[in-house]
């Protein structure tokens, strides 16, 4: 097993259409984990995870109440690798900003040819843009080696 550098974990988490598994905490203290589409972004000297979610979803409600989250991105084939980031979310309902990011996210997961359609579908009232400032990263490659 080897620790990944910042460049290595960034490339790993951004590769292809790997989804993230987002962990938040429900109001009763129970953990909630859900797969998400996301992109990474460098913003004013810090790294962030950017994604959309419904304002009334479990994720949306949890992040409004407590902005802390964890996100795991993994490769489930040998020799296995993973990245876990911890962060603090800022939520926005700005539809113009949401459209920019929803389109970038859609391009990653659905392809450039469908990015505009999916971007517009996800940048609507009732959807939140989540910009999660990364505060800690644990990243290991070749876990089974």
In three-state secondary structure terms, 84 is strand
Q: Which of 86, 121, 82 is nearest to 2 (CA)?
A: 82
Domains in the chain, please, with CATH? 2-141 (2.30.110.10)
Q: What pLDDT is stored for residue 145 in this prediction?
A: 86
pTM over 0.75: yes
Q: Do residues 20 and 12 make contact, with C-beta atoms less than 8 angstroms apart? A: no
Write phi, then psi, for 30 (nearest 5 degrees): -70, 145
Q: What pLDDT is stored for residue 99 in this prediction?
A: 98
pLDDT per residue rounded down to tens, the chain (145 residues): 899 999 999 999 999 999 999 999 999 999 999 999 999 999 889 999 999 999 999 999 999 999 999 999 999 999 999 999 999 999 999 999 999 999 999 999 999 999 999 999 999 999 999 999 999 999 999 999 8
Extended strands (E) in the chain: 2-3, 20-25, 31-36, 39-43, 46-54, 68-75, 81-92, 127-141
């Amino acid at each position: 097993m080897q620790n990944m550098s910042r460049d290595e974990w960034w490339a790993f988490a951004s590769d292809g259409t790997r989804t993230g598994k987002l962990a938040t905490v429900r109001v009763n203290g129970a953990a909630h984990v859900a797969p998400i589409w996301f992109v990474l972004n460098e913003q004013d000297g810090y790294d962030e995870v950017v994604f959309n979610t419904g304002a009334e979803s479990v994720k949306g409600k949890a992040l409004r109440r407590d902005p802390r989250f964890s996100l795991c991105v993994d490769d489930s084939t040998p020799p296995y690798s993973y990245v876990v980031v911890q962060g603090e979310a800022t939520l926005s309902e700005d539809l113009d900003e949401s459209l920019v990011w929803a389109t970038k996210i859609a391009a990653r997961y659905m392809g450039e040819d469908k990015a505009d359609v999916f971007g517009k579908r996800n940048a609507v009232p009732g959807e939140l843009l989540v910009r999660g400032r990364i505060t800690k990263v644990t990243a290991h490659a070749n876990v089974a080696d």
